[in-house]
Structure 1
């Protein structure tokens, strides 16, 4: 099976994983940092996706091995990975707005659980991933949507997120935040009849965050290492888990 994987900087973890241990199926990687994939537009007559942005063309070519556009006929399925679909957004929102049943900070404003879900859904809808999902809606091949990795447990070392160290109470809040994020992302994917896969449980620690060993020695698209404080990007070991998820979900 030929699979085109579209992502932002998270493309690197699975590209490195595929280089070290190639999957049985054939992946092609298309990625660009941050929100640059918003520059994708449809080719005429529904043939695929391309861009007029020379910077994005560079990244598409760099990550795919020479392809500056995405021809639908070259692939049997597509994967939309990360690109703003991330629990980190919901965790950040929780720092300021907390439901009464999960409130841990008196300075945080109270919000109903329903209103929190609506806000998370809107943040996911504003993501680059949703833009790409809309673009892919004019083709009939399977599309699998996967959110960005849950942040590493080292996120709790940052002042804004020290509440994550509050034991079982914090773990319950994170579990709820993860559920809200994945449910809303799945809802967006389902609207297009796309498949959805949340983060596999074997990559999540007891506190609901990613195991720190999966963020160690992660690399940027440029090949440089991330600073030791990076909590969002994962390494090739985590990338291998995601490759297995893709193969299983697509039957590759």
Structure 2
């Protein structure tokens, strides 16, 4: 119920930001109150609201930059990554992606230097969790919306994080597919960066990447290409 309500608030905020008069200041103030609360429940409320905020909220530069609230949220997210609370950790992961999306319009993409390594570390730590596919989907969403300023210089880290997931013996086909999709999107965003990663692979690393590629080919049983292979046989 709480998640649905936060989603509703996000939708309402989007409608409000569509009007020339600007945003809903009271909602943003309430969000800051929640995310800074001593209560874990309130922190979760604030983080869920952050995830549902439309990118248009970044237009309120007075709130985010001049009043210092961007730095407040950034600091709180870093704190919540360090807490021994799996729910807060997961919400901090999702919230960090949302803040990075806002950072483009606010010209604060420097936060990705800190956030991206934490996101990748979170993924590896939770590589056997059932909900990891949805976690990767959020990362893929961020990658697809990136204009090059967020993932610049991080392609190698992301590449190897996805290879580690795809080469796990007990990884599901869905998880492997999502990991490979992220690698493909990395290449679309910056062909030269991925070419650089591939060019500098060691012999051992090449073996690992090829093994993942072969395993992925074996998983694709419904592709028309396989019919052509069988016909040739």
More strand by share: 1
More helix per residue: 1 or 2?
2
TM-score band w.r.t. shorter chain: under 0.3
Q: Name the structure, 1 or 2, with higher relative contact order (CA <8 Å, separation 6+).
A: 1
TM-score for both structures, normalised by structure 1: 0.23
